[in-house]
Structure 1
């Protein structure tokens, strides 16, 4: 069995070309249903962003298979998780998940033959205006709260957004979304591993670092009120990693259904390549 490789594609959502001819070209690659969803956004800037998100995904998927961007077809789970239609998924082995925050879009892609894997990704902007105290008690387990309160205020804020990204990536991977209580599972950081991934952001995102810090070895446990040592360990089927783009942005990736440790590659996709 091959070690699963997760390609993390970083795409820019800033300074998007919204000229009518460009918008018209990008819409030609979408289905009528997708165009309807894009046009539901009230703000023109939000419509433009949604249009680019869908086109980025199609263009990136075409890097892995002999299908043009306009040929991809998608279906949606009970809670709205997107995936390829069964025929295309079986033929290509492609699994994906997407997340965006402000000017960054992150698309995770795993190509694996056979059984479909469970993949979730989330990118978060650490907003200084967020009142974390009012959120923690409702969204974090007792174990996580206890560990948080042992940290300094500055460290609490950093861990808060780390946990938030991890939780979002996990519930997206399961496909259950917020039907899963965020307090019903915990993350354990006691066995962290660290690696750096090169990122060649070229000239379209010059403020990013040349290397991305990535932490693995994060374990997820089931149970609300139990200490980690007493909880039912489900980490044998779920792998979680946490990365930082810079001081403001972090991302989390969760993979389920694969026993071998996942590997990562960071990639960038400039807007100029969308219609190539």
Structure 2
């Protein structure tokens, strides 16, 4: 396991929050960090993220958790000495909260991971058609090439799922670079896909089905 790529997810309901919070008792700063969020589900997602970092360090490096084993880069990327690591959180339907993580020993490469929920409910009072039209008008949300691929889908629900797929790839690239959306405009990342979403293909992963280019900043 120590030489392998570690991929896992944590799924928890709100009632598990006190127990998971106590699991961070070895690091007072971590408990304080998680306590900064008052909304219960958001706090639970943060707790899951912190536990993912320490769990990865334990499994891959065999290192016991300690107060100073995790720090952050300039734009918030978690840094754990000896590891390449990335995490992502999401609120699922219902009361479950989700965190995914990928990590390995530091091999000089960087990882980025993000969650794209399919058929995500729209927090919008209008129709899905109006919602995706609003997204398309915002130039920071996608490139012309990406929107050509998105709008080629047959239904508005498929178009939205493809948009979420592309956005997750953008988030993954931003996390891998450590830049974040505050340091690199997502519209600089131009994504190309060769196949349907892996979900549509029965879960088969096609590691070379997606590529991207990072354009020059126009700022």
| Same fold by TM-score greater than 0.5 | yes
Which of residues 111, 128, 131 is equivalent to 2:121? 128
Tell me which residue corresponds to 1:185.
189
Once superposed, what is the RMSD of the aligned Cα atoms?
A: 2.8
Tell me which residue corresponds to 2:87.
98
Which of residues 26, 43, 46 is equivalent to 1:50? 46
Stretches of structure 2 lacking an aligned partner (at least 5 in a row) = 92-96, 124-130
Which of residues 153, 156, 160 is equivalent to 1:157? 160
- Do residues 28 (structure 1) and 20 (structure 2) align? no
SS at match of 2:88: strand
Q: Deviations over 1:135-173 (max 9, x none)?
A: 234211011112222222233122111101111101111
TM-score by length of 1: 0.61
SS at match of 1:124: coil
The answer to whether the 8 A contact 1:194-1:213 is kept is no
SS at match of 1:9: strand
Distance 2:132 2:20 in 1: 38
Tell me which residue corresponds to 1:118.
110
Distance 1:16 1:182 in 2: 36
* 1:193 shift after superposition: 9.4
Name whichever structure is richer in helix by fraction.
2
Q: How does 1:104-253 map to 2 (within 5 A)?
A: 104-113=98-107, 115=108, 117-126=109-118, 127-129=120-122, 131-137=131-137, 138=139, 139-153=141-155, 154-178=157-181, 179-190=183-194, 192=195, 212-217=203-208, 218-223=210-215
Distance 1:18 1:80 in 2: 23
* 1:65 shift after superposition: 1.8
Runs of 4+ in 1 over 4 A off after TM superposition: 192-196
SS at match of 1:27: coil
SS at match of 2:13: coil
Distance 2:197 2:133 in 1: 29
- Paired residues in the alignment total 194
Distance 1:52 1:166, change over 3 A: closer
Distance 1:186 1:5 in 2: 30
* 1:120 shift after superposition: 0.7
The answer to whether the 8 A contact 1:193-1:216 is kept is no
Distance 1:161 1:42 in 2: 28
* 1:185 shift after superposition: 2.1
SS at match of 1:8: strand
Distance 1:188 1:77, change over 3 A: same
* 1:35 shift after superposition: 2.2
Distance 1:43 1:24, change over 3 A: closer
The answer to whether the 8 A contact 1:194-1:216 is kept is no
Q: Deviations over 1:65-100 (max 9, x none)?
A: 22113366122111111111xxx32xxxx2111001
Name whichever structure is richer in strand by fraction.
1
